[in-house]
Amino acid sequence: PSLKDVFAGQFKLGTAVLVNEIQNPNSPDAELVRKHFNSLTAGNELKWDATEPAEGQFNFTAADKIVNFAMDNGIAMRGHTLVWHSQTPKWVFYDRGGNLASKELLYARMKKHIDTVVGRYKGKIYAWDVVNEVIEPGDQKPGGLRNSLWYQIAGEEFIEKAFLFAHEADPDAKLFINDYNTNDPVKRQFLHDLIKRLKAKGIPVDGVGHQTHIGIEYPRVQELDDMIQAFRDLDIDQQVTELDMSIYTNDTDAYETFPTELQIKQANRYREIFDVFRKHSDQLSAVIFWGKDDLNTWLRTFPVVRNNWPLLFDERLQAKYAYWALVDPA
Ligand code: XIL
């Protein structure tokens, strides 16, 4: 069965891909994407370092391939991401003299970038991660905004500008604030209050994106339930934008093969988590996996190089127990 059909009427079911996975539309990889998913995210190809590596020099070769693949196959395309501290070229933050850019220079570059990228895909990309990971990670400084170069130059206002520019460039796109560990109570509360503040000022924030890179044990399912629940009162859309489930509980273990008991544990946990998503389907417009199969997962290089099996399909694109747990939850 097709995953998107299983969840039809509840939320879109999506995946991230890298361009090489869909380059050949007749490949098994492309076939799998078409069969199971109705939302698509570019894993890297729409990030700043990919689209504007040098000032004013835009390159959309790879991004176009993914967007065109989505359009050709009736798949809704998500945009990831416009303003982020990572995978953003250094030149964005410095002037010609090598000093930190002024606010004005930073905003001019931000506007040019957003106009060009969002404008190019106007009407094709239904949702944008306008800002990504702007909340300080709870393990460093609880609460507060991340002390990125964006923040150092412009303070909280850079977030407002990013949303305003994106809205100008495509008034119909749904604009998201995206972050990880949004189940963490301190981080979650700060994010919640930030969105509330932005909305009170009339900033066009349409939704919150929960990346949801989780492990085989944590966060507990109840914490994911609380995560969605916590944003209900804001009257915004919610999406799970980057779901995957590492089979590890630390950065040092590494398995040669995927132990059967963990395969079963993973399947059961995925089933319980999707029960929560289903329960909140009035809040959630999409659930998107960060990759489709265990070969093409960023978790084989992050946080360290090792085997990992975080997704629904294995290295040979065969459906795992985790897949069957979702299509046949009984
Ligand atoms: C990751 C990509 O999957 C990798 O290929 C790249 O090397 C680093 O970025 N949160 C995000 C994504 O918002 O953009 C990240 O993607 C994964 C974590």
pLDDT at residue 318, rounded to an integer: 98
Contact 253, 307 (CB under 8 A): no
Q: Which residues contact 200 (CB under 8 A, 6 or more apart)?
A: none
pLDDT at residue 142, rounded to an integer: 59
pLDDT in tens, 158-203: 999 999 999 999 999 999 999 999 999 999 999 999 999 999 999 9
pLDDT at residue 140, rounded to an integer: 62
Tell me if 297 CB under 6 Å of ligand 1: no
Annotated domain spans of the chain: 3-327
Tell me if 15 CB under 6 Å of ligand 1: no
Tell me if 291 CB under 6 Å of ligand 1: no
Contact 16, 288 (CB under 8 A): yes
pLDDT at residue 302, rounded to an integer: 98
Look up 242 and say whether it is catalytic. yes
Tell me if 283 CB under 6 Å of ligand 1: no
Residue of 81, 241, 294, 302 to mutate, ligand 1, most atoms within 8 A of C-beta = 302
Tell me if 300 CB under 6 Å of ligand 1: no
All residue ranges of the chain with pLDDT < 70 are 138-143, 330
Q: How many residues does the chain have?
A: 330
**Residue 142: left (phi > 0), alpha (psi -120 to 50), or beta?**
beta
pLDDT in tens, 35-71: 999 999 999 999 999 999 999 999 999 999 999 999 9
Quickly list DSSP for 8-21: TTT-EEEEEE-HHH
Which entry of 45, 133, 136, 160 is annotated as an active-site residue?
A: 133
CATH entry, 3-327, from 3.40.50.360, 3.20.20.70, 3.20.20.80, 3.30.379.10: 3.20.20.80
Report which DSSP code applies to 93.
G
Residue of 15, 78, 242, 297 to mutate, ligand 1, most atoms within 8 A of C-beta = 242
**What are the respective helix, strand and coil percentages of the chain, to the nearest 5?**
40, 20, 40
Confidence (pTM):
0.98
Q: Environment class of residue 223 by beta-carbon count within 10 Å: exposed (0-12), middle (13-18) or buried (19+)?
A: middle
